Amino acid sequence: MSSERGGREIELQVGDEVLKVRSGERLIDICEHHQTCIMFSCRAASCGTCAIVVEQGMENLSPVEGLEAIVVEEVSEGRPNVRLACQVRILGSASIRPLT
């Protein structure tokens, strides 16, 4: 995670917690560092364990790429604003919570 630090400081709400993080960081690294409520397993857009709902700030997340779209389609069951924490970079303030 250290190599990715250096962006501007932003606020990220994960569940009920508000974290101060650096823009550009991968969400899974942030969650791991802060030991938050987001679970993860494969770290590679293959399992869907880390699925999150973005309540605010979807526009502040890196775009969907690669395998993420497939897994989101399977795990979201039609719910909107679902992303995978292992694929997302936080580029500005946002509020997220685990999908389940």
Partner 1 sequence: MDQVDPVDKLLRRQIKLFEHAHRTPIELKGFGLAMKQEGIDKSKLYCNPDFLLLPLRECPHLSKLRPEQLSVLTAYYFARAYSEIATSESVALRYNMEASAAVFPLYSDNYMVLFHETAEEFDHIITFRNVCQALLGRGDVIGGDFFPHLKAVPAMLERYRGKLCANGFGAMYLLMRYILNLALKQLEGFMTAGLDEKVASPLALQIVAGHAEDEARHLTTSLELGLGLFRRATPRSRELISGAMRITMYSMIDKRFSGDAAATWNFETGLGVLQRALQHPEFADFPLRAEELRGLWASEGIAIPASAEFERSRRWIAGQLHRLAESMELALTPQGEAFERYLACARGTSSSSEDTARRA
Residues forming contacts to ligand FES in the complex (CB under 6 A) are 40-43, 45-50, 71, 84, 86
DSSP 2: G
Which residues are near partner 1 by CB under 8 A?
Answer: 2-3, 32, 35, 39-48, 66-67, 70-71, 74
CB atoms under 10 Å from CB of 89, counted, come to: 18
As a whole number of angstroms, the distance between CA 33 and CA 40 comes to 13
Q: Which of partner 1, ligand FES, none sits in contact with 70, Cβ below 5 to 8 A by type? A: partner 1
Shorter beta-carbon distance to partner 1: residue 12 or 57: 12
Can you say whether residue 8 is alpha, beta or left, with left for phi > 0 and alpha for psi between -120 and 50 degrees?
beta
d(CA 6, CA 95): 21
Q: What is the CA radius of gyration of the chain?
A: 12
Q: Which is nearer to partner 1, 57 or 88 (CB)?
A: 88
- Of the pair 33, 55, the CB lying nearest partner 1 is at 33
Minimal distance, residue 65 CB to partner 1, in Å: 11
